[in-house]
A and B are shown apart, each in its own frame.
Chain A
Amino acid sequence: MSKLKVPGLTLPKKYESNIRELRYSVYLLKHSALAVFGISIVATIIAVAVLAPYVAPYAPEAFVWQDKLQPPSLQHLFGTDDRGGDVFSRVLFGYRIDLAISASVVVFAATIGTVLGSLAGFFQRIDELLMRVTDVFLSVPSLILAMAFGAVLGRTPTNLVIALAISWWPVYARLVRGQVLVEKQKLYVEAARASGGGAARILFRHILPNSIYPILVNATLDLGAVILTTASLSFLGFGVEPGSAELGRMVADGRAYVFTNPWIVGFPGLAILIASLGLNLVGDGVRDVLDPRLRR
């Protein structure tokens, strides 16, 4: 093969096939209109969340009671809520909280799952036990499980993250275990063992780096569902305090005004829909690219 041309970077030859595969994936992704649409939504939302303090016209907790329950106008793009807060600004800040919670959930769940899953795949002795534990966790819908953990832990954002991560890790554990079981059989592991590598070194230096790709993919597929679950749980009263600028909470707080002032509920909910739709579009695109059966 010809040399890889990555500007400012020369890669060792052993990565050539990986890079080629990755480039092909990116090429396919670029040619899926829906995936590109999803990526642009997600990019916009992330930008909005990061830049909220600079972009939002008002502070999320700036309440002007004279302006309460105003319909959408040029001053207040999404109208104002029952306390005179600007719904548009609150939605922008809401993205911050929701994205932060969802991202932490995925990171935590993936980390716990990766550690436990790789141990299960590598050490036969704990494999059976760990897989039965994941069986139990997967036998209940994760929203229900998160409700149980959340109810006991108490209703704070940190506990919401913990509750969701505890109910979400088994998926990753299964995935990583399967991956490790496959990689374990390969020659390079044998070689590493022959050259005197200990169990920890083989697992973390050799096997895991080779199994990381599916974990990342699964995490992107997951984000849409996680953000939806996060919003649902805060709608039910978990996580942030009532009155906070969090999207699910804003819908719950505005429920009493749904008929008379529908914008208070309408826009935060629409914001959740757009975020999870964008993430799901990206996830769907990634899945299609990686599933060779669907390529034809």
Chain B
Amino acid sequence: MRCPQTPPKVNFVAAAPLIRGQGPFNLLRLPNPAPSPFFPTLMKRLLALSAFVAGVALHAAMPAPEGFSHVKSLGGIDEYRLDANGLQVLLMPDHSAPVLTFMVTYRVGSRNEVTGTTGATHLLEHLMFKGTPNFNREKGNNVDQLLERTGALYNATTWLDRTNYYQTLGSEHLATVVAMEADRMRNLYLREEDRRPEMTVVRNEFERGENSPFQALIKEIYHAAFVAHPYHHSTIGHRSDIENVSIEKLRAFYDTFYWPDNATVSVIGDFQPAEALALIRQHYGPIPKAPKPIEEIYTSEPEQLGPRRVTIKRVGQLGVVAVGFKNSAALHPDWVPTQVLADILTDGTNSRLYRALTDKGLTTNVSPYNGPFRDPSLCIIFAALAPGATHEQAEKVLLEEIERVKTDGVTQEEVDAAIAKQLTQLAFDRDGSFAIAGQLNEHIAMGDWQNFVQIGDKFKAVTPAHVQSVATKYFNVDQSTTGWFVPIVPGAAKAAAAK
């Protein structure tokens, strides 16, 4: 790719999941699933979250083979449970291309961390590539050696509620990836000599993120907005925790969360269900279930009783205003109307804030981020200031437009357009097994994979009254956290003094 002639657009990527990273140069490779490029695009996909619209061809699940219980089937996906240990298995066969995606989602994310172990979920995810007695560099078959030889698109990502490991590759390699993934569920080396160099790798990932004023701003907003709930801290964690967390603590993390009854295996694409289930039983079946129940997070965020504000001042060129409102959990009925509201406010050149801010020369763009998580998080509206505009001006207009929604509501036309865009995006989110896996993963993390199938219907049911109602319920200044990035322009002070 050529160096950009047009500078990169503002990307608010900090709220995206962390990815283990991959070499920047790949011939004909699909892009990364995650943070990568594109907050607006990414968020639309994650928020559009999903999936395919009901009724995907008539589909009959095969009878549960030995060792499995059939749980349910919906929208072309069959759910089974491995009787031996409770492993959840989702199968979605599709023979249109000779590739498949195999994915393991563990229900552990940065929500499961406490002070001293922030960032541990993510660091452990990195160490999951360091080998086991069966698959390791010395044998020439560690994860990277094994998968890169096949041309697989593979990686792992960590976010607030989950960690996932995935491979998209030729369907002839299914047996190989099942064996490898099952093996590293319980047999990881987890050695201090691996932690030390990987810690500095992750620290550089942290440093790269800190390079961006926007990522730093999002972290600050979350820190201020959540005082009790673990969404308070970012998935990358605090620098001091990344540097000092011990291998023993990481081992304890692994031994607490990496068990079959805390995981979902998804297989999507070109495979035979009976064969896939046989492989899964063969390799996962011998693993016992967790020795003790995995505790649920019981901390909830206390009610916020007034507006909160954070400011970041550092070297930069143009300011940013970001207003985060407490939203609902992603499976709550209010989440989808909140997304429609966010779209009406910011999606496209006809959106309300684009017209009120960008068309008026106050911002260069506006974008939303409606956190799609298991517990209530934030719906943040970003306004990237245009040259010459002030924070006060942009924030005032932004809040006025929100008040207008509360008092006057939105039009049926606006709601129809937002729904049409979401539904079309759902269709495009099914372009290949990798895209489907990426969406399905987030619904598993929210707590119910069926939402992947059902969310289209949820969007279709949204009315202008719903949108006005969630604006009134959630978009309150008293439950908001406003962040300003105030740039210190290099040389500006000297120039002013000279005048």
Decide whether A and B are members of one complex. Answer: no
